[in-house]
Amino acid sequence: MKRSELVAYLDVYLGLESFEGLDRSLNGLVVGGPEKEVHNVAFAVDACQATFEKAIGEGADVLIVHHGLYWGTPLPITGTHHTRISTLLQGNLDLYVAHLPLDAHPVVGNNVVMAGKLGLQDIEPFAPYKGTTLGFKGVLKEGRDVRWIASQLGFESPVVLPFGKERIKTVGIVSGGASSDVYAALADGLDCFITGEVEHQIYHDAQEAGITVIGGGHYQTEIFGVQALSEHMRDTFDLAVCFIANPTGL
């Protein structure tokens, strides 16, 4: 398919327009030359040099990432940023970014996919953010413990604040750096809140309110969206796709 068709489809499917003014990330097609045919698409969490080189090595025409290059501040094209841009241009690799749209998406978003992997029932939007919601919450039909939840989501060394019930039934999920959304979980009376990073500032509130918090890692909680999107694009269009793993351990 033509790149313009790919970009137009993604812009609408991911609802980028709804996040204009809400997201610090520059989303959409961020680096792209003249129109071209797209056959191979790579997907990754982070836009970085190692990811670019791997994607080019895989023969990708376009790289789709969750964390892009621009976060509300213009960057001079010098130093490592110059190297990154040069690599993309020389490798004829276009870059497409979907940050908050890929957290909040109701089908391929990070949070709804995790909810599905846990088998949550009665799934509904959760955690308000600037007039929208980014997360999802639901109910475990059978109460589960922290170890089971972490295993289902592939969290190898999660940070756990074990202040809630031993058998967890109600769960709220917001991927990445969303510690403060524990207060939305508390307001909704949930047993457990899952996010990527757990900040010190929420420790005592979680302890005193009696909620379990699981931090699976910023990177690890945000592989789900790009992987689900890659499967969607593979199944919807005649495209070869690959996932570029570049875990940070954070």
CATH number at residue 15: 3.40.1390.30
Percentage of residues of the chain with pLDDT beyond 70 = 100
What is the pTM (predicted TM-score) of this model?
A: 0.96
Beta strand extents in the chain (DSSP E only) = 28-31, 40-46, 62-67, 94-97, 121-129, 132-144, 159-162, 168-173, 192-195, 212-215, 240-243
Task: Work out how many domains the chain is built from and give that number.
Answer: 2
- Tell whether 191 and 168 lie within a shared domain: yes
Q: What is the pLDDT of residues 173-227, one digit of tens each?
A: 999 999 999 999 999 999 999 999 999 999 999 999 999 999 999 999 999 999 9
Name residues whose C-beta falls within 8 Å of residue 6's C-beta, 6 or more positions apart in sequence. 38, 41, 62, 237
Query: What pLDDT score was predicted for residue 192?
Result: 98
Q: How many CB atoms lie within 10 A of CB 219?
A: 20
- Tell whether 124 and 95 lie within a shared domain: no
Please enumerate, by residue number, every residue annotated as part of a binding site for a divalent metal cation: 66-67, 103, 218, 222
**Bridge partner residues of 195 (DSSP):** 215
- Tell whether 146 and 176 lie within a shared domain: yes
Judge whether 228 lies within some domain: no
When pLDDT is cut at 50, 70 and 90, the band that residue 48 belongs to is very high
Range of the domain at 173: 105-219
Judge whether 60 lies within some domain: yes
Please enumerate, by residue number, every residue annotated as part of a binding site: 66-67, 103, 218, 222
- Tell whether 121 and 62 lie within a shared domain: no
